[in-house]
Amino acid sequence: MNDIVKNIINKISPISDKSFLEIERLLEFETYAKGETFISKNKRNNNEYFVLNGICKSYLINPEGEEITISFFVENSILSPHSTRVSNNKSSYYFKALTELEVASINAVAFEKLMIDNLEIRNFGNAVLFKELQSKVEKEIGLASFTAKERLIAFRQKYKGLENLVPHTDIASYLGITNISLSRLRKDLLE
């Protein structure tokens, strides 16, 4: 389990074993059932999360009461950094497990303290933040200036194989189209 976390971190920004020990001491492991909303908007949340196994999504509810997918998180990935999804200790998004989900979590305040004290961990934390912000701007550019087909192609590159693992309605929502349009595009792209 800890090896997975170590690999996740090293793939983003390599850190020494000594630094990893600082993180490891603080890790906790959690499992969520498929369909479980494990972080709710406007509720307290004080952790950072590493996805060890399974898939989840972040989402919001639009004025019509529908779920709008913001992002997917697959195994060996890290949930959006605490600072980007929590304000006044209240979460700005919902997170739901789309399969059974295993995560390693670390208290966000403790992790921030590690970042202050340890350069490697700070570099890692900054790399995660940067990656999240880049991901957000890519999505915004895609929604603003690419066709839905182009966005589906980009989605498939970013999340290989995810299409067979999560509901298409969630994918359509992430792409900003209806599930009927997604079905059409999938058919188009078979040729």
CA distance 36 to 44: 17
Interaction partner, residue 179 (DNA, a copy of itself, none; CB < 5-8 Å by kind):
DNA
Interaction partner, residue 184 (DNA, a copy of itself, none; CB < 5-8 Å by kind):
DNA
Residue 4 lies near a copy of itself (rule: CB under 8 A): no
The answer to whether the beta carbons of residues 60 and 8 sit under 8 Å apart is no
Per the structure block, which two tokens stand in for 43?
């509720």
Residue 119 lies near a copy of itself (rule: CB under 8 A): no
Strands 47-53 and 86-87: unpaired
Residue 66 lies near DNA (rule: CB under 7 A): no
The answer to whether the beta carbons of residues 148 and 175 sit under 8 Å apart is yes
Residue 185 lies near DNA (rule: CB under 7 A): yes
- Find where tokens 């999240």 sit: 132
The answer to whether the beta carbons of residues 60 and 162 sit under 8 Å apart is no
Interaction partner, residue 182 (DNA, a copy of itself, none; CB < 5-8 Å by kind):
DNA
Per the structure block, which two tokens stand in for 44?
């307290």
Taking the complex as a whole, the smallest distance from the CB of residue 20 to DNA amounts, in Å, to: 37
Residue 183 lies near DNA (rule: CB under 7 A): yes
Which CB sits closer to DNA, 82 or 96? Answer: 96
How many chain residues are in contact with a copy of itself, going by CB under 8 A?
26
CA distance 124 to 130: 10
Among positions 149-178, residues that touch DNA (CB under 7 A) are 149, 167-169, 176-178
Grouping H, G, I as helix, E, B as strand and the rest as coil, residue 31 is strand
Residue 101 lies near DNA (rule: CB under 7 A): no
CA distance 108 to 103: 15
Per the structure block, which two tokens stand in for 140?
């915004």
Residues within the interface to a copy of itself (CB under 8 A): 60, 62, 66, 68, 70, 83-84, 87, 92, 126, 129-130, 133-134, 136-137, 139-141, 143-145, 173-176
Residues within the interface to DNA (CB under 7 A): 147-149, 167-169, 176-187
